[in-house]
């Protein structure tokens, strides 16, 4: 996608990260149209956090990677995948009822980080998912070949299954620096990890993850 492009916007009460996958249920007529167009043309749209009557200015481009089912009313269960972070420069109402946003793709480099901070984050994260998910979620081994090309953010992957609030997830998405994102993750873990053995807290984390591995 070129810089300063116009794309359809899908404001939601979720935060999508690059290379993350989330399931969505599409029921509003205007968004049925948006999603059908995206599927037919294999085009991207923008998912952006809408909370407290506010549209945030940093979002993530997305594509539909799976249409799970569609009923006779056109309602759909889909899976979307994030691609690139963007800054929302302006938006306007489109003729189909959804917003069209002028966006600028944000450059990112996932390779610049403090290795000691990463190691501390991964140690806590791997213990975290073992306690919460009991082997159902894959731990992160930074020596796996899939991490060698460093096309994903460690911080974004850890944030998917850690029960972070929407506000904290949005802070991560808005950060242009992997080291800063790891700092946010580490601070969160140090606050939450001591409370992990509380059954209610574990249940809350599982309910709030929303992402597909």
**Distance (Å, whole) CA 129 – CA 137:** 7
- Does residue 48 register a pLDDT over 80? yes
Q: Bridge partners of 153?
A: none
Other Cβ atoms within 10 Å of 1 Cβ, number: 14
In CATH, 5-105 is 3.90.70.10: no
Average pLDDT, stretch 109-113? 87
Top-confidence residue, 149 or 131 = 131
- Does residue 28 register a pLDDT over 90? yes
Contacts of 194 (CB under 8 A, 6+ apart): none
Contacts of 125 (CB under 8 A, 6+ apart): 139, 140, 158, 162, 185, 189
pLDDT of residue 142: 87
pLDDT of residue 208: 72
Domain boundaries of the chain, sorted by first residue: 5-105, 115-208
pLDDT, mean over the chain: 91
Burial class (CB in 10 A: 0-12, 13-18, 19+), 144: exposed
Other Cβ atoms within 10 Å of 175 Cβ, number: 19
Top-confidence residue, 213 or 25 = 25
């Amino acid at each position: 996608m070129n810089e300063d492009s116009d794309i359809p916007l899908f404001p939601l009460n979720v935060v999508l990260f690059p290379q993350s996958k989330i399931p969505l249920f599409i029921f509003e007529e205007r968004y049925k149209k948006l999603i059908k167009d995206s599927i037919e043309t294999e085009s991207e749209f923008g998912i952006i956090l809408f909370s407290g009557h506010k549209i945030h200015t940093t979002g993530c481009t997305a594509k539909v990677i799976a249409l799970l089912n569609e009923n006779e009313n056109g309602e759909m269960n889909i899976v979307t995948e994030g691609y690139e972070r963007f800054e929302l420069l302006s938006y306007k109402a489109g003729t189909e009822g959804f917003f069209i946003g002028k966006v600028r793709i944000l450059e990112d480099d996932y390779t610049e980080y403090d290795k000691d901070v990463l190691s501390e984050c991964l140690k806590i994260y791997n213990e975290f998912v073992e306690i919460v998910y009991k082997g159902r979620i894959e731990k992160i081994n930074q020596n796996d070949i899939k991490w060698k090309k460093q096309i994903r953010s460690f911080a974004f992957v850890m944030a998917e299954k850690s029960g972070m609030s929407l506000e904290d997830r949005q802070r991560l998405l808005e950060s242009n620096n992997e080291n800063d994102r790891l700092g946010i993750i580490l601070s969160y873990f140090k606050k939450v990890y001591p409370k992990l053995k509380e059954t209610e807290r574990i249940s809350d984390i599982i309910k709030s993850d929303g992402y597909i591995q």
